[in-house]
Amino acid sequence: MKRTGLINGQLTRALAQLRHTDLFAVSDSGLPVPDGVEVIDLGVVYGTPDFFTVLRPLLAEVTVEAAWASEDVVAANPDVHRALGELVEPELLPHAEFKDRLGQCRFVVRTGDATPYANVLLRAGVAW
């Protein structure tokens, strides 16, 4: 058994298979994911686990070189916007463009978060 870090096997596998410039996302419970993109569904009930309970340990395990969020998060969910800025400083995109980019993701990690626009698109970096 692993001693530390993430213990979800599907998530650990997906993160280990990322290569430089691969895209992946962490989402709230309602973000529509395009057909063909793997969904790693961690949601149990609305609110559990919340977005940051998943995002923080995930960021501890993977190198991220860029991030994007919907520009709607600024007004609709300023707490998420502020906290995201402290973690990954996402570039803001129109929501339609953000959703379009999901089709390029290797996978989306779905949380149980039930707040609007608690979503981030991430690009894998290299660890050296």
Domain 21-124 has CATH 3.40.1650.10: yes
Q: Given pLDDT bands bounded at 50, 70 and 90, which one contains residue 116?
A: very high
119 is in an annotated binding site: yes
Residues 67 and 86: beta-carbon distance below 8 Å: no
128 vs 126: CA distance, rounded Å:
6
Asked if pLDDT for residue 126 goes beyond 90, the answer is yes
Residues 46 and 114: beta-carbon distance below 8 Å: yes
Which tens digits make up the pLDDT trace of 29-78?
999 999 999 999 999 999 999 999 999 999 999 999 999 999 999 999 99
Domain range list for the chain: 21-124
What does each C-alpha distance from 97 to 71, 100, 101, 104, 128 come to in angstroms? Answer: 10, 5, 6, 12, 31
Phi, psi of 18 (to 5 degrees): -65, 145
81 is in an annotated binding site: no
Q: Which two tokens stand for residue 79?
A: 């707490």
Asked if pLDDT for residue 6 goes beyond 90, the answer is yes
> How many residues in the chain?
128
Asked if pLDDT for residue 2 goes beyond 90, the answer is no
pLDDT at 128: 86
Residue 66: count of CB within 10 angstroms of its CB: 15
Q: Given pLDDT bands bounded at 50, 70 and 90, which one contains residue 1?
A: confident
User: Shortest CA distance to 41 belongs to which of 53, 59, 29?
Assistant: 29
Q: Which residues are catalytic?
A: 20
28 is in an annotated binding site: yes
Q: What is the mean pLDDT of residues 122-126?
A: 97
Q: Which residue is associated with the tokens 């650990």?
A: 12
Which tens digits make up the pLDDT trace of 76-106?
999 999 999 999 999 999 999 999 999 999 9
